[in-house]
Amino acid sequence: MLKQLDQILSLFSRERTELSVLDAAALLRRPRSTTYRLMSQIEKAGFLDQDHETGLYRLGIRLAALGELAQHSTSLQRIAQPVLRQLSQQTGETATLLLLIDGEGIAVLHSESAQRVVAKGLVGRYWPLHASAGGKALLAWRPEKDGMKLLKKPLKRYTPATITTLSALRHELKQLRARGYATVRGEFMDDVWGAAVPIFNHREEVEGALTLGGPRSRVTRARLPELGEILVVAGEDVSRSLGYAGAYPRRTMSGE
């Protein structure tokens, strides 16, 4: 099916923005009925739109949205990759780039710790917004009503330390905004502690989050402020590279 999808989508270009089933069948050298069935399935998936007056197909709005996401994430990944490598080398912990995709925090890039015991930064891994440092960073620096809409309710408990009420989460987000970085202490996985900061784009919107995490034996309560301060510098550098011109969040509280 993926090959057929590619064949259909490849028929469109800047010079050929709309196609009839008959034209597509001729270009593919396939029966009209087969081509119609394929294009109908692709339309249902959102990758094609059909003008019901003319019957012509054009590329769907879902493709445009995915293209914009790919463009942004590719640019961000290119900028973030050396930063993640530096963060991991500097701290000895796993550094991760987290993006908000379909309402979830997804790891799209990581640089793993060289230590024998590490927090795995698997690409594609889901990180719950309310129970991870990166997820909290994605929530905290966007309008509260928007952030609350992203949460899956009720808040799932992963460990005894997981925040499971909205009032407690709002209090936590208020504290981390004042602190300048987010933290997690075994709230998603018992032994994983870490810190995170937001990344802003040129529209002053939260584009992603940088995180540092490791086992509790190394990422102690006393060490979290150190990791947070290191991340603040890195987060501001990445944000400036994306064209962010606003005031980057800075630590205003002492201690944890």
User: Is residue 166 situated within a structural domain?
Assistant: yes
Whether 51 and 77 share a structural domain: no
pLDDT value of position 181: 97
Please state, in angstroms and as integers, the Cα–Cα distance from residue 105 to each residue in 51, 56, 63, 208, 251, following that order: 35, 37, 21, 9, 24
Whether 209 and 124 share a structural domain: yes
Residue-by-residue pLDDT tens, the chain, 256 positions: 678 888 898 898 867 889 999 999 999 999 999 999 999 999 988 889 998 889 999 988 777 666 656 555 567 888 999 999 999 999 999 999 999 987 788 888 888 766 655 555 556 678 899 999 999 999 999 999 999 999 988 999 999 999 999 999 999 999 999 999 999 999 999 999 999 999 999 889 999 999 999 999 999 999 999 999 999 999 999 999 998 999 998 754 444 4
For residue 64, give the H/E element and its range. Answer: helix 61-91
Containing structural domain, residue 29: 2-59
pLDDT value of position 12: 87
User: Is residue 246 situated within a structural domain?
Assistant: no
Whether 91 and 25 share a structural domain: no
pLDDT value of position 155: 95
Whether 14 and 116 share a structural domain: no
Whether 191 and 211 share a structural domain: yes
Q: How many domains does the chain have?
A: 2
User: Is residue 19 situated within a structural domain?
Assistant: yes
Q: Judging by beta carbons within 10 Å of its beta carbon (0-12, 13-18, 19+), is residue 146 exposed, middle or buried?
A: exposed
Whether 32 and 107 share a structural domain: no
User: Is residue 235 situated within a structural domain?
Assistant: yes
For residue 182, give the H/E element and its range. Answer: strand 182-185
User: Is residue 256 situated within a structural domain?
Assistant: no
User: Is residue 248 situated within a structural domain?
Assistant: no
Whether 9 and 83 share a structural domain: no
pLDDT value of position 254: 42
Residue 46, domain CATH: 1.10.10.10
pTM of the model: 0.69
